[in-house]
Structure 1
């Protein structure tokens, strides 16, 4: 993994413009590993790694058994990736890792609620589209596609293959569309993404980590605000609007003694 320490917002904009077609993920603490919420939860609270597979299966089973009462169309629960995306959308820890096709959306999630050095990870998805892990060259993206019935159980739920898949459900929800979102699905839960990705590399690193110091936050957040990248636009519902009010507290308009919106 390449690590780049960015000195200014303009430098970040210039560097990420070179990552055409890549996928990005922002983290508010540059010291955090690039892992799924499920991996973090299990690492923190379930030391018995041998049980992780069964625990994930149970979580999926419970969600499917109960979620239908809240859904107009319960068919979404049949498709593994759509079901996982729904779980992720509503706050459940899953093995899916949220990425976005926009470096600016990733920067927003990295910088919005932090006062320390943050990070934006950039993943070379164009190369990964046709790559395969060294340990088994038959496991290309189309061969392991978890949208195909049976593939999630065969390649991911077993929790034993150093593989990743990048993509979206066949039907995307409003948040995923608003965020230009995509998902990375790892084949193992006990390793960070940068360790798994080495199985696909043939010399050139496929992952870059842009470290953003706290000093760039003010300029970056104002620039993102002017791009209309806020909680209100990334989460197009009342929750998103409410969360967007936090940054409004930081905005001041010179010459206006009373702010009326």
Structure 2
């Protein structure tokens, strides 16, 4: 498998996004990939907590403690660290979580939503969560097997691990877990979202993936192709108006939709 593909056309993009999604056991197309779109291919897979800088690992507990203190408790289904973390990430608190989606088109949206970055290449990260979960500690693998699931729900994960410290103690090696958040609002539902997290808060997912080349690909969207991708996503109704329901999403879509096209990059 080629780990990095530079796309040349919209047609090639469709072919690559859905490659290897055929499941012969059930006779259906069922991708096992999690997608993450970034507007600049140079961006690392760094969490919002990492991007705070400083001693961000020490800040994590203070951020989460105060979020729990001031947020209304009716916002979470259960008083577990994982329910609080997913809620906090969803509302913009810096956390150790990374946003992913089952939808390649949603990932494409995030790679092309910022037209101010159309002078640089974008990227779609595609990670096979089924293969990634083969590296989980036995307790977590057993929970997935018992449930007949490929990805944790927040409830399943809360039943498996109670604290961040307990998660780190499950193995002396780093690993990645993919978790589906509860459907707390239409934004999560429409974005078909999930999160990844690692037991080592300082661990970079791209660094971990570098040692697991069979798990991932990077699909480079050349800057020359971004306008075409963006316009065709808009025609397919993959827009801020849908992915961020409400007046804020509507305004973001209209502002971008009516912005003049800049000169094509050379």
- Same fold by TM-score greater than 0.5: yes
Deviations 1:33-91 (A, max 9, x none): 112111222xxx30x4xxx44321111111111112xx6x1544712222112212221
TM-score normalised by length of structure 1: 0.80
Q: CA RMSD in A?
A: 2.8
* CA gap 1:224/1:166 in 2 versus in 1, 3 angstroms: same
For the residue of structure 2 that corresponds to 1:182, the secondary structure is: strand
* Cα distance in 2, alignment partners of residues 210 and 141 from structure 1: 32
Aligned with residue 26 of structure 1, among 33, 37, 46: 37
Given that 2:98 and 2:196 are in contact with CA atoms closer than 8 Å, whether structure 1 keeps it comes out as yes
Partners of 1:21 and 1:152 lie apart in 2 by: 26
**CA deviation vs aligned residue, 1:212-256 (integer Å, no higher than 9, x gap):** 11111111011101110000100112211111112221489xxxx
Unaligned runs of 5+ in 1: 253-261
Asked if 1:234 corresponds to 2:235, the answer is no
1:9 corresponds in structure 2 to: 10
Secondary structure of 2:100's counterpart equals strand
5+ unaligned residues in a row in structure 2: which ranges?
22-30, 145-151, 262-266
2:181, 2:193 within 8 Å by CA — same for their partners in 1? no
Contact 1:166 1:182 in 2 (8 A): yes
Q: Answer with 55-64 or 156-165: which moved more.
A: 156-165
What secondary structure is seen at the aligned counterpart in 2 of 1:163? coil
SS of alignment partner, residue 31 of structure 1? coil
Aligned-residue offset at 1:21: 2.8
What is the number of equivalent residue pairs in this alignment? 236
